[in-house]
Amino acid sequence: MSSNCLFCKIAAGEIPASICYQDDLLIVFEDINPQAPVHLLLVPRKHISTTLDLTPEDNILVGHVFQIAAKIATDLGFADDGFRVVNNCNQAGGQTVWHLHFHLLGQRQLSWPPG
Ligand code: 5GP
Ligand code: ZN
């Protein structure tokens, strides 16, 4: 846990969130400012600041994130329609919370390219 990290505090239960899934590796909760009918954040329990800080020992973790994103999309019934898993890295990438996370967006038609 990193002190003064919002997502570490949510993972530790110190700040409330609408949690919909959790396991040993990650926690999944609703984004406070949803950009789609389903907008969830998949957040590793381990504090990793950005995509640039991943190491080979995190490969299982990142694979697990995508497995769980696919399971949630399937369970919520929009997997076949389609969905998006997004990671924003650093300022120009749109990152605003410096604890690695993946957005799961679903249940609407998503445009491309993103803004
Ligand atoms: P980023 O911009 O870093 O890719 O994504 C950060 C996300 O965290 C944003 O979509 C933002 O709405 C969400 N967020 C920021 N603060 C909070 C919070 O306190 N609780 C929850 N549930 N989401 C938050
Ligand atoms: Zn953190």
Q: What is the pLDDT of residues 28-76, one digit of tens each?
A: 999 999 999 999 999 999 999 999 999 999 999 999 999 999 999 999 9
DSSP 26-70: EEEEE-SS-SSSEEEEEEESS---SGGG--GGGHHHHHHHHHHHH
| Tokens (6 digits) for 107 | 């249940």
Q: Is 51 in the pocket of ligand 1 (CB under 6 A)?
A: no
**Alpha-carbon distance 40 to 69, whole Å?**
9
Please identify, by atom number, the ligand 1 atom nearest to the C-alpha of residue 33. Answer: 12
Please identify, by atom number, the ligand 1 atom nearest to the C-alpha of residue 6. Answer: 19
| Tokens (6 digits) for 97 | 């919370």
Which pTM does this prediction carry? 0.98
Question: pLDDT value at position 55?
Answer: 98
CA of 6 to the centre of ligand 1 (A): 9
Question: pLDDT value at position 115?
Answer: 82
Cα distances (Å, whole numbers) of residue 61 to 45, 47, 55, 97: 10, 12, 10, 19
Residues above pLDDT 90, as percent of the chain: 97
Question: pLDDT value at position 1?
Answer: 76
Instruction: Name the residues annotated as catalytic.
Output: 101
